[in-house]
Amino acid sequence: MLRYILFDLDDTLYPTSAGLMDEISQRMNEFMITRLDVPAHDVARQRKDYWERYGTTLRGLYIERHIDPQAFLNFVHDVAITKYLGADARLDQMLAQIAQTKSVFTNAPGDYARRVLDALGVAHHFEKIFDINFIEYQSKPNAFAYDKVLSALPVRANECVMIDDTPRNLAPAQKLGMKTILLNRENHRTLPSGVDAIAQTIYDVAQVVQDLD
């Protein structure tokens, strides 16, 4: 029986087309260029390398360039969220249909996550936010992050489901025994490794959870 649901935040609770992550990505580039003197032509290559080896740009910069992670997080997430997101009544209704306890599990900082939830009008549905500070900057898909979050939950792994828009972020959760749901951003015809079920949109999650339970 499923008792607890972990939702990813960015590009999961709202669509990629909103454009919010585009600005955040641009601010990551700006931080590397203006604060770390990375040549503009080399930023994309370095970020791709960090993403592949460490999971996120922040993790790569933290390990290899020894940056102050809070300075990076503050700069990157200093965005006007309501420019991109507004109250989503359909999302609110879908979340209300899910009886399980819900929390957010994100590589972003908690204050930013709360602003996103507030902008969407759905903050009241979520019990906790497990953010990048809680997981000690060890971003998804690092196994440490999942172990730490699971240790803080009042349920066993097999009573929990995780929802994310990135397949590689779901594999560690499945390995621990959680059920996993992928938002089908790329129209996968078959289930990618680490994925138990696919939701075509965030609005389909309640039905997919019911089918898994």
Residue 188: per-residue pLDDT: 64
At residue 160, does pLDDT exceed 80?
yes
Contacts of residue 186, defined as CB under 8 A and 6 or more positions apart, other chains included, come to none
Provide the token pair at 200: 């075509």
pLDDT tens per residue across span 49-83: 999 999 899 999 999 999 999 999 999 999 999 99
In this prediction, residues 34-38 reach a mean pLDDT of 96
**Phi, psi for 36 (deg, rounded to 5):** -115, 0
Q: Tokens 């020894």 map to which residue?
A: 66
Closest CA to 205 of 159, 165, 163: 163
Residue 190: per-residue pLDDT: 78
190, 206 in Cβ contact below 8 A? Answer: no
* Secondary structure, 3-state, 167-184: HHHHHHHHHHCCEEEEEC
pLDDT tens per residue across span 104-124: 999 999 999 999 999 999 999
The H helix count followed by the E strand count for the chain is 9, 6
Q: Tokens 């879908």 map to which residue?
A: 94
Distance CA 160, CA 100 (A): 9
Residue 213: per-residue pLDDT: 85
Cis peptide before 69 (omega within 30 of 0): no
H or E stretch covering 199: strand 197-199
- Domain residues of the chain, as ranges? 4-15+84-212, 20-76
Instruction: Say whether 20-76 and 4-15+84-212 share the same fold.
Output: no
Contacts of residue 187, defined as CB under 8 A and 6 or more positions apart, other chains included, come to none
Superfamily for 4-15+84-212? HAD superfamily/HAD-like (3.40.50.1000)
pTM given for the model: 0.94
| CA distances in angstroms from 76 to 33, 90, 106, 112, 172, listed in the order given | 13, 29, 15, 10, 26
pLDDT tens per residue across span 122-155: 999 999 999 999 999 999 999 999 999 999 999 9
At residue 186, does pLDDT exceed 80?
no
Closest CA to 76 of 105, 44, 117, 33: 33
Residue 101: per-residue pLDDT: 98
Percent pLDDT > 90 in the chain is 94
CATH of region 20-76? 1.10.150.450
